[in-house]
Amino acid sequence: MTDSVWVSSVMRNHHLWNRQGIREKYYGEDWAPPTFQLGAPSKQELDAHLRHTRGETLQRTDFPEAMYVFAQGNWKRVGDLFCAGSFFAVKGRLAEVLKNFDLGEGGLVEFPVYEADKTTRLPGPFYLLNFGAIKDSFVPEESQSRVGEKMMGLISRREMERDGKELWAAYDLADGDIAVTRAALEGADLWFDRRLDNQIFMSGRLHDAILAAKVRTKFDFTRARIIDAGRS
C-alpha cells in the first residue's frame, strides 16, 4: 500500500538491548568490558542517544567506532535490527531493504564488528542507522486516546514540550489510532515526528518491502489514518 503511512513501536522493544553479546568502543576511549552489565552512559553519549531517538542526524563520532562479540551464542540470536551501544544498527535483510529507500539526511553508515580478539573483522556488512528525517504531520487532536483500556493509545507529556509544541507518547497502538496529514506522504520513507515520542514512521513502500523481505525483527506496525490538513 504505497499511499499509506505506518507507525512502528519497535523503539519501545527493550529486548533489542538485552544480552546481545556485543560491546562497543567509542572514539578516543577504551573497549567496553565483555559483560552484560552495562554501565551508566557518559553525558556526551546520553545527549547523542536522545538526539538519535528524536530522529536527528548525528556525526560519525557520536556513534561507536566499532563493536566486538564476546558471547557468540547470544550474537547469533540477534535480529536484523540491533543496538550498537546506545544506537540503532542494521544488518542482513533489513540493511539490504533500507539501501533502496530515502532515509533523509542520515542514512546507513558501515562500521566494523570484530570477533572477541577485537582484531578479526566479521564479514557483515553492518551499518549504523543514522536517522535524518523529521516531519510535522502528526495530528494529536484527531488521534485516539482509549481511556479505560489496559493501556491508553495516546497520552500527553505536557511537562516535556519540544520546540514549543506539546509532546505525546503512544502505547499499545491499534490501526487508525495515529492520525497524520497528507504531508506525511511526501519526502523520506523513514522519519520521526517532532510531537510523537519513541515512534518511527514509515511509508507504505518501505513497510511493504520489510514485510516482503521477512526481516528478522518484529516492528510492531500499526497503520496511521491520513486526514485532510485543514480538518479540525
Taking the chain (232 residues) in runs of 10, the rounded mean pLDDT of each run is 87 84 96 88 91 95 98 95 95 97 96 98 96 94 66 60 72 90 96 93 97 92 87 48
Question: What are residue 144's DSSP bridge partners?
Answer: none
**CA–CA distance, 114 with 89 (Å, rounded to integer):** 15
What is the per-residue pLDDT for 232?
A: 45
Question: What are residue 162's DSSP bridge partners?
Answer: 165
Q: Domain-by-domain residue ranges, the chain? A: 13-130, 134-227
Q: Choose among 121, 111, 122, 107: nearest CA to 64.
A: 111
What is the per-residue pLDDT for 175?
A: 92
Q: How many residues are present in the chain?
A: 232
What is the per-residue pLDDT for 202?
A: 97
Contact call for residues 222 and 7 (beta carbons, < 8 A): yes
In degrees and rounded to multiples of 5, residue 183 shows phi and psi of: -60, -20
Contact call for residues 183 and 193 (beta carbons, < 8 A): no
In angstroms, the Cα distances linking 170 to 10, 15, 160 are: 12, 18, 14
> What is the dihedral angle through the alpha carbons of 190, 102, 104, 91, rounded to the nearest 10 degrees?
70
**CA–CA distance, 129 with 108 (Å, rounded to integer):** 5
**CA–CA distance, 134 with 211 (Å, rounded to integer):** 23
What is the per-residue pLDDT for 49?
A: 94
